Amino acid sequence: MTIHAKNFIAGEWVEAREMAPDLNPSNTDDVVGQFPRASAADAEKAIAAAKAAFPAWSRSSIQERHDILKKIGDEILARKDELGRLLSREEGKTLAEGIGETVRAGQIFLFFSGECLRLAGEKVPSVRPGVDVEITREPIGVVGLITPWNFPIAIPAWKIAPALAYGNCVVFKPADLVPATAHALSEIIVRAGLPAGVFNLVMGRGSVVGEAMLRSRDVVAVSFTGSVATGRKLAATCIESDPMKKVQLEMGGKNPFVVLDDADLKTAVECTVNAAFFSTGQRCTASSRVIVTGGIHDRFVDALTERMKSLVVDDALKPGTQIGPVVDQSQLDQNLSYLKIGRDEGATLKAGGELLNRATPGFYMAPALFTGVDNSMRIAREEIFGPVAAVIRVKDYDEALAVANDTSFGLSSGICTTSLKYASHFKRNADAGMVMVNLPTAGVDYHVPFGGRKGSSYGPREQGRYAQEFYTTVKTSYTLP
């Protein structure tokens, strides 16, 4: 089935003048659909509609918002198989991963339907006699939501749901590579009964639609997930704009996973395989540096290499596939270029990295493992965003912690150990927004904050009740009755 999609602007589905095909990375002969390449004028229309809808929506009842978000969450969950299949077809993660991510999106909408009812302020005593002080939270206005291709439904959900829950109007620009999932999600959102203009879908290029949002005086805040280079530029534009925009960035990672001598070997191997290679390594929380102490190093590398032989790389929708294709040719080229960089730098490509032929034309690559890596090498410092892991040998826990923290990123940091002492020390001293003990660096809950430090994130945290920091603004009122 081929989709012919439209944008949703000012309460209507709108044809675009320019369209672009969306290809299945497991089979590039399969065209998922034709999707709009919106113009800057389309984006401006959406922003104007969102601005016009804001006064009424910002005052809508919390019951109305709860009911709408609940309806969206319920429909996503009821249709998880079909939506998950569409997601896997266009992005290339396995069907199980696609359905799992869809369930996550449904759960996020249900979580924020509850949050609508829990928003609260504070009434505190004043230092001045007779004065009342109240601290309340208000919606911020029109928010621009710019999302990446690697989580086509969960990331849009964790931005759109809190934006709407706290009374904001949305202009949503999904990544060019995954418009079909964005479109299917938007159809569900639109059917749930939002007033015209509250939610707008504008599919198109970052350089056109994204830039139009950044230029607009009427977009007050931008939440972005994507690359460091784009995030940095985008934040600079938000700060330079008049008025300045609030900005939230989620970007890359170079996440360490420390394996100590006393680790359970099976746990260490499974956590590494999961976080480094599942979802084709295309997660900002992926383990890309595996930092291993000397006493377990050789046993660990042997067991991991053996385990990698059994990983099934194939069509994302084929039963039994454990790792789907890379998302597109340019990402595959990037992965391959890092394999060359790693070898040129003197690391050993211990396993994988080959291009694979399957029944259909797709971007298939065997997960790759480097050993003999030094933390100063480019493959240990730059985000690859593919199924490539680098093993760094260290002598002890202290060196492992130092190497783990020696990075310009700080999203997720993991350790595998049976020692309470090292686990506790690592939790306190890992310079990252999220720490995992005996768990993969990737894979998080949806009701707690998500985000990192240093070059990984900028601005308030996403998800859980912490999301209100970005999607509301605080007002302090003083009254002398």
By CB under 6 A, name the binding residues for ligand ADP. Answer: 146-149, 173, 175-176, 206-207, 210-211, 214, 226-227, 230, 234
Rounded to the nearest whole angstrom, what is the least distance from the CB of residue 389 to ligand ADP in the complex?
Answer: 20
10 Å CB burial of residue 478 (0-12, 13-18, 19+) is exposed
Helix (H, G, I), strand (E, B), or coil: what is residue 363?
Answer: coil
Least spacing, CB of residue 123 vs ligand ADP, in Å = 40
Going across the sheet that includes 19-24, the strands are 3-4, 27-36, 19-24
Instruction: Report helix angle 154-165 to 62-78, nearest 10.
Output: 160
Q: Confirm if 102 and 110 have CB atoms less than 8 A apart.
A: no
Q: How far is the CB of 455 from ligand ADP (least distance, A)?
A: 13
- What is the C-alpha to C-alpha distance for residues 62 and 60, in angstroms, rounded to an integer? 6
Residue number, 249 or 258, with CB nearest to ligand ADP: 249
Is the separation of the CB atoms in 63 and 401 below 8 Å? Answer: no
Q: Which of 91, 101, 250, 469 is catalytic?
A: 250
The answer to whether 284 is a known catalytic residue is yes
The CB-of-177 to ligand ADP minimum distance in angstroms stands at 7
Amino acid found at 285 = T
For ligand ADP, give the closer residue by CB, 217 or 475: 217
* CA 349 – CA 274 distance, rounded (Å): 19
Cβ proximity to ligand ADP, 226 vs 387, nearer residue:
226
Q: What is the smallest separation between the CB atom of 148 and ligand ADP, expressed in angstroms?
A: 4
Shortest distance in whole angstroms from residue 122 CB to ligand ADP? 36
| Dihedral angle sign, alpha carbons of residues 97, 103, 104, 106 | positive
Nearer to ligand ADP, 363 or 426 (CB): 363
Q: Which is nearer to ligand ADP, 24 or 272 (CB)?
A: 24
Residue 151 or residue 277: which is nearer to ligand ADP going by CB? 151
Nearer to ligand ADP, 222 or 290 (CB): 222
Question: Three-class SS of residue 139?
Answer: strand
Please pick, among 238, 271, 284, 416, the residue that the annotation labels catalytic. 284
Q: Which pairs count as long-range contacts for 374-379, CB under 8 Å and 24+ apart, including other chains?
A: 374/346, 374/347, 375/289, 375/403, 375/406, 375/407, 377/342, 377/345, 377/346, 377/347, 378/338, 378/341, 378/342, 378/345, 379/338, 379/341, 379/342, 379/345, 379/347
Cβ 157 to ligand ADP, closest distance in Å? 15
Strand 368-371 with 348-351, pairing: antiparallel
> Tokens in use for 334?
């990037």
**Cis peptide upstream of residue 243 (ω within 30 degrees of 0):** yes
- What does the block give as tokens for 155? 């990331």
User: Alpha-carbon distance 356 to 328, whole Å?
Assistant: 14
Nearest CA to 410 out of 327, 329, 289 is that of: 289
Helix 265-277, helix 294-309: angle, nearest 10? 60
> Measured from the CB of residue 476, what is the shortest distance to ligand ADP in angstroms?
33
Closest distance to ligand ADP from the beta carbon of 146 (Å): 5
Q: Of 174 and 464, which CB lies nearer to ligand ADP in the complex structure? A: 174
- Angle between helix axes 80-91 and 179-191 (nearest 10 degrees) is 150
- Residue 458: half-sphere exposure toward Cβ, Cα within 13 Å: 24
- Of residues 327 and 415, the one with the C-beta less far from ligand ADP: 327
Q: How far is CA 424 from CA 61, 285, 394, 452, 453, in A?
A: 45, 21, 20, 19, 20
Q: Which residue has the tokens 């020692």?
A: 419
Residues with a known catalytic role: 250, 284
